[in-house]
Amino acid sequence: MGLSGGFIMAFRSKVAALAAFVVMALVAASGYHSAWAQDADVHPSASTQERPKPAAHASNARASVPNARGEPAGYYVEFRAIDGFIYGHTVIAYGRLNARGQPIEEHYAGFEPDRGSIGAAFGHVMPVSGSIKTSRESVNFAIVDSYRRRLSPQQYRSLLGAVAAAKKHTYVWNAVLHNCNDFMADMAHAVGLKAPPNVVIPYAYIGVMRSLNGG
């Protein structure tokens, strides 16, 4: 084989490898399945509520029982690792508790790249735009791990303020430099909790957070 023929084959090999990488990234990103739709501080729609959820995390539909001062029985935040993408995704659920300490409402928030699967794919090789979104589709992913903490009214107001402030900003999303775990850390710090670094993969992130905060 001549020199020119060897060069052509080497060039084709590099192109094929690059194409395979892009295809694999796009296929992996398709597992994200996010609706990428803003829906701040609202209950899941009727169609979403009808879909089955893991029993351990199902909401209690009964009304909250206020305390003697007329305040809600309590509040909570739950840090979740959900199944999706090639290494998982982290989101928070938060809301009110009834007198037995069970959630009676769930709001959701998570940090995701913009432009859906395309943004997620390119975000593995370069920074892309991202934002804090409430994705109803994320509700239906299997929950791999979760860490729930009961919040005082002051902590809950701090959490709501942190979520609202985060939604007003435009962020850069990158799988390594700034990802969904950074949002988890910000929300944990808002309620006085410790958080692991963002390089911990989502599937393991909640377990590390739990150990840092005493179970």
* 97: pLDDT strictly greater than 50: yes
Most confident of 110-124, 166-180, 187-201: 187-201
Domain locations in the chain as residue ranges:
31-212
Cβ contacts of 195 within 8 Å, gap of 6 or more? 181, 184, 185, 188, 189, 209, 212
Q: Output the six-digit token pair for 99.
A: 């007198």
| 115/196: higher pLDDT | 196
| pLDDT at site 175 | 86
pLDDT tens-digit series, residues 33-54: 333 333 333 333 333 333 334 3
**Percent residues over pLDDT 70 in the chain:** 63
Burial of 95 (0-12, 13-18, 19+ CB in 10 A): buried
| pLDDT at site 212 | 97
Give the integer Cα–Cα distance in Å for 192 and 145. 21
| 150/62: higher pLDDT | 150
Q: How large is the average pLDDT for residues 174-198?
A: 94
pLDDT tens-digit series, residues 194-204: 999 999 999 99
pLDDT tens-digit series, residues 73-94: 799 999 999 987 778 899 999 9
